Amino acid sequence: MELQITSLNLKGIDETKRPLVIAGPCSAETEEQVMNTAHHLAEKGINIFRAGVWKPRTKPGGFEGMGEEALPWMKRVKEETGMLTATEVATPKHVELALNAGIDVLWIGARTTANPFAMQELADSLKGVDVPVLVKNPVNPDLELWIGALERINGAGITRLGAIHRGFSSIDQKIYRNSPMWHIPIELHRRYPNLPIICDPSHIGGRRELIAPLCQQAMDMGFKGLIVESHCNPDCAWSDAKQQVLPDVLDFILDRLVVRDSTEMTESLSALRKQIDELDNNLMDLLTKRMRVSREIATYKKEHNMAVLQTGRYSEILEKRGAQGVLCGMDANFVKKIYEAIHEESVRQQMDIINK
Ligand code: PEP
Ligand code: MN
């Protein structure tokens, strides 16, 4: 399905400029914390303020947000600083309350995006409403589920639509709280070039030190904007304390961002791209030849009554090429993945021949 997308149309904001920045605390905790953080951010030129009013928590008993009580604080932020306000909505009731309180931008959290029933209910509650909606990726790395959620909201007539990349749950996380799996938002961008994608370095990184490098990476990859958690007293935050930064620190990070916006194709770039095209051609050629030899091996195995999978040989290839790859400056895991994929296709082709 095509998405019908218009600009986010955010009042007073030049959307042609990158990055579009949304900042504010993970949660609205107290009126004082909200106002204090908001004033500091506004002084630094931030013009969209985020704060979670309703917080989805993994286990009951954690801080679940102040709820309705916090909405008048968001109103005050708007009146006193002129910033637009944004909050997470997870149910039709949240949508109704947020809109009545004059919240300017709604976002849908990762846990909600993962649930098509919840998404449809939200979409139904947004019919006939003119408000920008940002859909975070689902917790699991499933691009189709993310797109499905965007389609549901779009189907309700919301064209002021955007996506937020906040990383994905993964079993082998080391560095990140949520693995960025950049190829997923990049594929989303390839399919919907007009859909603004905003990076959430706070929930990807989970740690303060990672905010700056992740912001830079997002800019280098052409993301439209950033949504960053910022708190007037991060260490004492009631949720996500480790990943929040002071408004001053955020300002410092944004100040040092290098934003490359030139799409101009110079001669040397196009010459380099020609080289890449030629090398890719060679790669395909080599792969085709390799598969041909592999099919010949299959014929041999069939004639000699041998099994397709010879695990000893497979391990030998993985080890040898893995080590070679590392010597050539490549990541061992990357080489392993390539050889696993080649091997899988090779086995598929051999099976074809053996079972004929
Ligand atoms: C948040 O933005 O504070 C939040 C709860 O994020 P996510 O839905 O990405 O976990
Ligand atoms: Mn948070």
H helix or E strand, kind and range, residue 165: strand 161-165
Q: How far apart are CA 184 and CA 89, in angstroms?
A: 24
**The tokens 């099976």 sit on which residue?**
351
**Above 80 in pLDDT, residue 263?**
no
What is the CB < 6 Å shell around ligand 1? 26, 52, 109-110, 136, 166, 203
State pLDDT tens for residues 15-32: 999 999 999 999 999 999
Q: Which ligand is nearest to the CA of 167?
A: 1
Joined tokens for residue 298: 């299959």
Q: Which of 209, 218, 290, 228 is nearest to 260 (CA)?
A: 218
Average pLDDT over residues 187-213: 97
Rounded CA separation 112/138 (Å): 7
Grade residue 57 by pLDDT with cuts at 50, 70 and 90: confident
CA gyration radius for the chain? 25
Atom from ligand 1 closest to the CA of residue 112 = 8
Q: What are the DSSP calls for 140-189, one per residue?
A: SS-HHHHHHHHHHHHHTT--SEEEEE--B--TT-SS-SSB--THHHHHHH
C-beta of residue 185 within 8 angstroms of C-beta of residue 137:
yes
| Alpha carbon of 185 to ligand 1 centroid (Å) | 17
Instruction: Please state, in angstroms and rounded to a whole number, the distance separating the CA atoms of residues 72 and 158.
Output: 25
Q: Which atom of ligand 1 is nearest to the CA of 109?
A: 8
The closest residue, in CA terms, to atom 2 on ligand 1 is: 26
Protein residue closest via CA to atom 9 of ligand 1: 110
CA of 38 to the centre of ligand 2 (A): 16
Q: How close is the Cα of 25 to the center of ligand 2, in Å? A: 8
As a whole number, mean pLDDT of residues 263-287 equals 89
Residue 105 structure tokens: 């931008």
Kindly report the protein residue whose alpha carbon is nearest to atom 8 of ligand 1. Answer: 109
pTM of the predicted protein model: 0.83
In whole angstroms, what is the distance from residue 40 CA to residue 47 CA?
11
Ligand 1 atom nearest to 164, measured from its CA: 9
> Which domains, from first to last, does the chain contain?
20-255 (3.20.20.70), 267-354 (1.20.59.10)
> Ligand 1 centroid vs 55 CA: distance in angstroms?
8
**DSSP one-letter code for 79:** H
Q: What is the pLDDT of residues 143-191, one digit of tens each?
A: 999 999 999 999 999 999 999 999 999 887 679 999 999 999 999 999 9
- Looking up tokens 């194709």 gives 265
SS3 label, residue 262? coil
Q: Please tell me the distance from the alpha carbon of residue 283 to that of residue 289, in angstroms, as a whole number.
A: 10
Ligand nearest, relative to CA of residue 242:
2
Confidence bin at 84 (pLDDT 50/70/90): very high
Collect all residues with Cβ–Cβ distance below 8 Å to 344 and sequence separation of at least 6: none
Q: Are strands 133-136 and 105-108 parallel, antiparallel or unpaired?
A: parallel
In the chain, the percentage of residues whose pLDDT exceeds 70 is 100
For 304-344, how does the pLDDT look when each residue is reduced to its tens digit (9 = 90+)?
998 887 788 888 988 999 999 999 999 989 999 999 999 99
Ligand 2 centroid vs 289 CA: distance in angstroms?
51
